[in-house]
Structure 1
Amino acid sequence: MKQKIIIGCASVFLLTSCNNKEKMLDALADYNNGMMEKGYHFGDKLQLPSTVTENAESISISFDGKQTSDLTINPQFFTLGNNEVIFTIKTKDGEVLNQDATVNVFTKNPEQNLGYKVVADYPHGPDHFIEGFLVEGNTVYESVGGEGVSQLIKYPLGEAVPAVVRKQPADIFSEGCTIVGNKIYQLTYRNKIGFVYDKNTLEKQSEFPLPNVIGEGWGLTYDGKNLIATDGTKNLYFLDVENPSKVIKTVAVAGNKMTYDQLNELEYHNGFIYANVWHHPIVLKINPETGEAVGKFDFTKLTEENSKGESEHVLNGIAFKGENMLITGKNWPKMYEVDIR
């Protein structure tokens, strides 16, 4: 009889323990799901449900090889945007529970809706599947993508007929490019290499492997110190201009209510990074120190006029002519000069 009582008590203990475990995980899941859309700001503290905290001996969060038991949204641990984390809870019963979650960190200030006025338009090659777009003085440089048709070209603004053409090997898919002094740096899509050209002749001078962390080459710009690259995620990668295979730092981009991933063609101007978002008719104005999207241009009207219903003929080209912005897109027949307000 005593043995049956002991077994019965053990069964009750196990059942209670399992129920507590399920309640804790369910409560944590409900909390995380409820916070995904609302998000957090830097400095916020995670207010976990009492069902979790009252039954936990310790709680920690793991993310990207780091671990912390501080439940404050700290920029030394979290980045802007989505953070895929693991909650690890050691219960007072000695069990260890793990649960995956997404912690979204947004900016405190909403992005400003920035105005503009079209002041001029210029012809653009409608067969140019543009990936990189530069204007220096009166000269346009373009990195044109596509399987077997990739090339780097230059031509006078207003003409759109290439004056100099550097065709790529058939296995190269050209991507973003930028000017550094007398050189042009160019990324490739999935070839995991970049090229350096003479700016005047477009003769290739060298090539370099992309950093391992960059899965694909998308956009590229230069801030006067570092190259800045995108790979279709939320990240801006700052690269050593003398050794572009080396990542100096990574900055994630988000706004007040959303993460901005699929960052594409870039331009640096007057202390800010301007970025296209692939398949969206917008250009973001980004603080390069924090990754905060401080403003947004809506080019829906110009995109609709030039895409002609083709889903891949997206806005994808940002440059500056003085203080005016030049924009164009993939296979657009025009580029536009806009006075930004």
Structure 2
Amino acid sequence: MKKNIIIGFAAVLSLISCNKDKEIINSLSDYNNSMESKGYHFGDKLQLPKDVTENAESISISFGEKETSDLTIDPKFFTFGDNEVTFNIKTKGGETLNQDATINVFTKNPEQNISYEIVKEYPHDPNNFVEGFLIEGNTVYESDGLSKASQLIKYTLGTTTPIITEKQPADIFSEGCAIVGDKIYQLTYQNKIGFVYDKNTLKKISEFPLPNEFGEGWGLTYDGKNLIADDGSNNLYFLDVNDPSKVVKTVPVGGYKDIYNQINELEYHNGFIYANVWHKPIILKINPVTGETVGKFDFTKITEENTKNDSENVLNGIAFKGDNMLLTGKKWSKIYEIVVK
């Protein structure tokens, strides 16, 4: 009889412990879900529910092989955007509980809305599916995409007739491009390779495999030291210009309320990176050191004029003519020159 009482008591304790563990996990899950859209900023302290903290002997957060017991949003562990983590809780009852979560990190300061004025319009060939867009002097270099239609072209601003056209194989889908000295570097979408061309003749010099760190090539620019690529996420990949298959560093981009996934065409100008976001009528101004989005252009009106017949004809071309910005898009009939106010 006594033995049965002891067994019964142990079973009750086990049930209580199990229920308490469920309460901890459910409470932590509810907290994480409530914070996922609200997000955090660097320096914020995670204010976990009392159900969790009062019943935990220790709490840590792991990021794959990294782990910390400091519940502060520290840039040593977190980056802008989605951070996939696991909470590890050792309870006072001796159990170890794990809870997966997504912690979103945003910038502390809102992006400045940058005002502008359209000062000039130029013709653009509406057959060109623009992926990369550059200008030197009055000469435009353009990478056009789509399978069986990809090409690299060179023409004078104000005309639509190419000076030189370099057609690419039918299986190639061209993407962003950048000028480095007398060469043009170009990415491909899903072909896993990039090309290097002679800037004057547009003849191919060489090709290189895309880095393993990203699977798709989207935008490309050059900051005077490194090539900078993106892959449709919120990451900027700094590449060794002498070996573009090598990633020197990765800088995630963050906004005040948005993660800005699907960053696309890129342009470096006066210490900042300008980037459009696929299928959005905006261009971001990004600090390349921190990844913080410090400004934003709203080109809704211009974009609506050019996408009314096809929603895929999105804004996707950024270049600078002096300090004035040139912008165009996929199959747009115009290039717009704007002055920043």
TM-score, normalised to structure 1, is 0.98
Aligned letter for 1:117? E
Partner residue, 1:83: 83
- In the alignment, the residues of structure 1 paired with residue 58 and residue 70 of structure 2 have an alpha-carbon distance, to the nearest angstrom, of 11
Equivalence map 1:92-111=2 (5 Å) = 92-111=92-111
Cα drift, residue 89 of structure 1: 1.1
Identical residues among aligned pairs (%): 72
- In the alignment, the residues of structure 1 paired with residue 6 and residue 279 of structure 2 have an alpha-carbon distance, to the nearest angstrom, of 65
Equivalence map 1:33-112=2 (5 Å) = 33-112=33-112
Deviation string, structure 1 residues 69-118 (Cα, Å, up to 9, x no partner):
11111111100111111111111222221111111111111001100100
Cα drift, residue 135 of structure 1: 0.7
Partner residue, 2:158: 158
- In the alignment, the residues of structure 2 paired with residue 133 and residue 63 of structure 1 have an alpha-carbon distance, to the nearest angstrom, of 38
Aligned letter for 1:213? E
Partner residue, 1:219: 219
Partner residue, 2:277: 277
Equivalence map 1:217-256=2 (5 Å) = 217-256=217-256
- In the alignment, the residues of structure 2 paired with residue 229 and residue 64 of structure 1 have an alpha-carbon distance, to the nearest angstrom, of 25
Aligned letter for 2:301? K
Equivalence map 1:1-341=2 (5 Å) = 1-341=1-341
Structure 1 segments of 4+ aligned residues over 3 angstroms from their partners: none
- In the alignment, the residues of structure 1 paired with residue 160 and residue 5 of structure 2 have an alpha-carbon distance, to the nearest angstrom, of 89
For structure 2, the residue ranges without an aligned partner over 5 or more in a row are: none
For structure 1, the residue ranges without an aligned partner over 5 or more in a row are: none
Deviation string, structure 1 residues 113-166 (Cα, Å, up to 9, x no partner):
100100001111101011000011100111100011111111000102111111
Aligned letter for 1:313? N
Aligned letter for 1:294? V
- In the alignment, the residues of structure 2 paired with residue 126 and residue 307 of structure 1 have an alpha-carbon distance, to the nearest angstrom, of 12
3-state secondary structure, aligned to 2:131: strand
Cα drift, residue 65 of structure 1: 3.4
Aligned letter for 1:250? T
Provide the aligned C-alpha RMSD in A. Answer: 0.9
Cα drift, residue 238 of structure 1: 0.5
Aligned letter for 1:65? E
Aligned letter for 1:169? P
Aligned letter for 1:4? N
Cα drift, residue 309 of structure 1: 3.4
- In the alignment, the residues of structure 1 paired with residue 181 and residue 94 of structure 2 have an alpha-carbon distance, to the nearest angstrom, of 62
Cα drift, residue 306 of structure 1: 1.3
Aligned letter for 2:245? S
- In the alignment, the residues of structure 2 paired with residue 309 and residue 38 of structure 1 have an alpha-carbon distance, to the nearest angstrom, of 36
- In the alignment, the residues of structure 2 paired with residue 245 and residue 91 of structure 1 have an alpha-carbon distance, to the nearest angstrom, of 46
Cα drift, residue 35 of structure 1: 1.2
Aligned letter for 2:5? I
3-state secondary structure, aligned to 2:281: strand
- In the alignment, the residues of structure 2 paired with residue 65 and residue 189 of structure 1 have an alpha-carbon distance, to the nearest angstrom, of 31
- In the alignment, the residues of structure 1 paired with residue 109 and residue 36 of structure 2 have an alpha-carbon distance, to the nearest angstrom, of 18
3-state secondary structure, aligned to 2:71: coil
Deviation string, structure 1 residues 257-296 (Cα, Å, up to 9, x no partner):
1111100000000000000000000000000011111000
